[in-house]
Structure 1
Amino acid sequence: MIDKKLLSILVCPVSKGELVYDEQNQELICRASGLAYPIRDGIPVMLESEARPLSQDEKERAKH
């Protein structure tokens, strides 16, 4: 679980967009940039080089 206060101040380093917590995959999702940032040992890794691009299916699901 990620702290809600921390989540409220974090933004995507690429787009500066809002992040959504994906608890199941332990990632922070940015709809604007289409990237998923990993959370390792409870710490978000907010590096573009560590992010993975969302699949087209994931992008569609993130819109809702």
Structure 2
Amino acid sequence: MRQDVPCLVEAHYADEPDDAVAADRYVFLENGPGNTPWLRPGRYRLRSLDIAGKILVERPAQVDPAH
């Protein structure tokens, strides 16, 4: 993701429509290694929005099960 903070990152299940409720949301207040959302294993579409609600980045993501 880009380095624009503060921002909101929404995780949507990959197979759900764009207007579905996000599976999770995480607010990044500052840059740093502690910014880690916790998601269940699965396929997602991550969407990052700035403070005005403008979409900054949207990309697919895969969370694999822990071994």
Please indicate the TM-score interval, normalised by the length of the shorter structure: 0.3 to 0.5
**Taking CA–CA contacts closer than 8 Å with sequence separation of 6 or more, which of the two structures ends up with the larger relative contact order?**
2
Q: 1 or 2, which has the higher helix percentage?
A: 1
TM-score, normalised via structure 1 length: 0.32
